[in-house]
Chains A and B, each alone.
Chain A
Amino acid sequence: MKVLQDFSNIFKRYDIDNEVTDGARQVSKDAVLQEIAKYVVEGDDEGIGDVVKKALETKPPLDIINDALVAGMSEVSRLWEEGAYFLPQVILSSDAMSVGIALCEEAMGKSMDRKAPVVTHTAEGDIHDIGQVIVNALLTANGFEVIDLGADVPVDKVVAACKQHKPVMVTGTALMTTTMTAFPKIAHQLKAAGLAIPFVCGGGAVCEEYVTGFELGVWGKEASQAPGMAEDALVGESWESMRSKWNG
């Protein structure tokens, strides 16, 4: 008969899976790159600088970006989607990734090549750019250049940024029903300016019926959809075809 020596697992609570901290998968077989990815996964924006600097002595900056920093952030994104990670962890990991990318770009002497710009903003009147923070992190991790307008952004500023940066996609986040009324105005002005850019809208108060009620609008159900949508926009899909793919 097997005698149980350790009773600790009997009392482990399987109904609370929110204390997972060691569920992260290995993202690189290279020990140096894996070490950097670990700092991203653990959201250590203070410690990551030194390990990235050390790695830059032996590794090309672009490998560090793609195979450690971005790969680590993708793992964070997976943990978040699975419910093992919560928002604070995603924000901290995103910060750590940004510290690392900045050091690599410094070493390259130029910014890393990005796929295309995406303009992101949180609606006028909404001061919590929480959802947008995640969208920014995921788009950056997937190689897009994020033009981050921040929170509480007036309609005109969003339109002006689109005229200036010619993004493949623009996103709007709103937590409150009172602020999402800015979205159709933005869509209207973009259209009038001849910029038929897919305008992905999401956030607490925003629902599908509302967003598909105006031209250019594509409803973003989850922040995690943002990179996939941006890839579609990058290959030239119209807002109509994106809407029929992602909504309805």
Chain B
Amino acid sequence: MNSKERVMAVLNHQKPDRMPCFGANSTVTYEQMEKVQAFWPEGHLKGETMAKQAMAAHTVIGFDAVRVPFCQTFESVALGCTYKPGANLEAGEGIPGIEHPPPHKLTDTPVFPDDFLSRGNIPELLKAVRILKKEVGGEVPIIAGIVGPFTIAGSLLGAVPILKATFKAPDKLRLFLDVGEKAGTALAKALIDAGADIICCEDMTASPELIAPKTYRDLELEYQKKQFDAISVPKILHICGNVDGIVEWMGETGADILSLEPKADARLARNKCGSNIILLGGVDTATTLFMKDAATVQAGCEESIADGIQILAPGCAVAPGTCTENLLAMVEVAKSH
């Protein structure tokens, strides 16, 4: 089987020739950039470079999918947040973010702009997907990332204000969640038109490490369901950290795949969400993949597989300083299952 057949087999609940291995989040590293001679910040800004870097996941590491983009700024910037280029760090160029202060206050009425898809850097992201489709689309699934409603709302309002609002004025958040949902959905549809096979929704700020589980259930779940209803291709839902307190609701969103960090209990996820949900995960990207050696990475992967993980993956976005050897070690484990 090629990578595409392998991943589609798992999505169709059929038996693949072996376990697929790829990242639901960014897997770009400085070493891969060297290998394919495509670097940041261009990789965040230019469609051609972005596609080149994404392809390294398959050509250099051997992952069963390619993934764009490598940051979480596209929707927020198109909605009025200020783009903050990655810091120039000793190890290399960092990951872009959102400049503070945020553009909105809780009393504002945010608007979803008609020209959303031509705003900010979205056209370059769509271009990257079209290039990937042309270059590897036949054999390798293309994962395109969007950001979840709550996380976009968090960029529009700022992290601390949105957290406070979850208790003080949850209803005022609905306008922002609505705009966040529309933004992610519109982007997802455009990405699918450009050639994306799978949509991965990253919703970092909806983690129980930041908000109360009941906030996820009472506020975010409805918007996530609405968004996934509108997306025609398979969907991955990624929420960082230990999601045990919300995993049963994550299973109700309509996601085909839940991307879990090792901090989350995969057995509990299986128990709460049933046999139809596909579980993706593997090792912690900071404490294991970045810090430890290949043997530790492999042991971590085996443990996750024993817990019911069906697609092997870094638990979250890969730290750009991660060594190639540790990523290759993951693929080796997948090949033996």
Contact = CB atoms under 8 A, between A and B. Distances in A.
Interface in B64-121: 84, 86-87, 89-91, 94-95, 97-98, 100
A125 B94 contact: yes
A98 interface: no
Interface string B163-183: 110111000000000000000
6 contacts: A86-B211, A95-B164, A128-B159, A178-B91, A179-B89, A207-B291
Contact of A124 (B87, B95, B210, B214): B87
A88 B211 contact: yes
A179 B94 contact: yes
B98 A209 contact: no
Contacts of A206: 286
Given A88-B166, A91-B160, A210-B291, A177 B319 contact: yes
B98 A181 contact: no
A91 B212 contact: no
* Main DSSP-derived SS at the A contact region: loop
Interface string A166-207: 000000000011110100000000000000000000001111
Contacts of A86: 208, 210-213, 215
Contacts, number: 88
Most chain B C-beta atoms within 10 Å of own C-beta, residue among A152, A178, A207, A210: A178
Nearest to A151: B100
Interface residues of B, number: 36
A16 interface: yes
Given A177-B286, A178-B89, A209-B291, A89 B159 contact: no
Most chain B C-beta atoms within 10 Å of own C-beta, residue among A19, A125, A127, A177: A177
Given A125-B89, A177-B285, A178-B319, A18 B164 contact: no
Given A88-B164, A89-B167, A127-B84, A181 B214 contact: no
A43 interface: yes
A152 B100 CA distance: 10
